[in-house]
Amino acid sequence: MQTRSLGRNGLEVSAIGLGCMGMSHAYFPLPDRGEMIALLRAAADRGVTLFDTAEVYGPYTNEDLLGEALAPVREQVVIATKFGFDVDAFPAVDSRPERIRAVCDASLRRLRTDVIDLFYQHRPDPKVPIEDVAGTVKDLIAEGKVRHFGLSEAPPDTIRRAHAVQPVAALQSEYSLWTRDVEGEVLDTLEQLGIGLVPFSPLGRGYLTGHMDASTKLAANDFRNTLPRFTAEARAANTTLVDLLQATATRKGTTPAQIALAWLLAQRPWIVPIPGTTKLGRLEENLAATEVVLDAEELAGIRAAAEQIQVVGGRYSEAFQKTVGRSED
């Protein structure tokens, strides 16, 4: 497995990580816990070192799952988790310093570890100055409870203000061929400050793999049913983007998912996507994307074609976006 440095803070991880949310949250029906423990250990065996979770996934059960699964290899892996949502009033946010400390201690217990490798603010909290958030994590780092500070879905000004108090190791934001709003000012800010980018949903929550279409049935309680981009009409309209990935994959002898991940990896050397899966075959397919080389002409062609495609549907409902202080573009 290739490795990459997340910015200039000394955090080195596998070039592709593993997003673990779907193992116990959001995508239904949920898989068997024992099978997910086996999958997590298989990922570690294959060289994955970055594992992503959060207290709100479950809630709590995802951290507990990782704690059990990764205990035998704890010294070889990087565990990232998050604070910032009010679990009892989700999707309300809460990044008060006392709340951050309480989440840290509880996450340490569930993860069965003495230190959190990467502690993200899950979403900005408009009620709490980011300087107070960064200062609290700085104190936790000084106390040995946290190694690195991260932000998620934060705008450039917030990133700069946080970084001035405590260096930010990584920003986690959605980034893929159908969600490119981090391009421009956000990526420029990360480059200037030496911060890594960890794209979540790099495969469009499964859509960019080519295994979904307008007729795909989702479980009634599947999180994607709440997303405008996953209505049957939006899925039908967005097939042009999948067709682009499939055409490239056919020429390269790969899969659409591998092209989508290889494209992301080629954007910057400090980008580490975290596709999620609950299946060993998909895990191995995703990891093999590190071996797919897209030359400059291919990258330019993919981008030019993608920029001509109007993606239909927002990432989240407008109500959710407003709750975390950000409206859809």
Query: What pLDDT digit, counting tens, does each position of 87-125 carry?
Result: 999 999 999 999 999 999 999 999 999 999 999 999 999
Q: How many domains does the chain have?
A: 1
State the CATH number of the domain containing residue 239. Answer: 3.20.20.100
Q: Distance between CA 58 and CA 63 in Å, rounded? A: 9
In the prediction, which pLDDT does 326 show? 61
How far CA 297 is from CA of 62, 72, 111, 262, 300, in Å, comes to: 41, 44, 44, 14, 5
Q: What is the pLDDT of residues 262-294, one digit of tens each?
A: 999 999 999 999 999 999 999 999 999 999 999
Kindly state whether residue 73 falls inside one of the protein's structural domains: yes
Kindly state whether residue 329 falls inside one of the protein's structural domains: no
In the chain, the amino acid numbered 101 is R
Q: Distance between CA 142 and CA 147 in Å, rounded? A: 9
Kindly state whether residue 328 falls inside one of the protein's structural domains: no
In the prediction, which pLDDT does 325 show? 62
| pLDDT, the chain, mean | 96
**Is 57 in the active site?**
yes
> Beta strands 78-83 and 116-121: pairing type?
parallel
Q: Distance between CA 148 and CA 172 in Å, rounded? A: 13
In the prediction, which pLDDT does 328 show? 52
Selecting among 57, 120, 207, 316, the annotated active-site residue is 57
Domain coverage including residue 110: 3-323
Of residues 196 and 10, which shows the higher confidence score? 196
In the prediction, which pLDDT does 329 show? 44
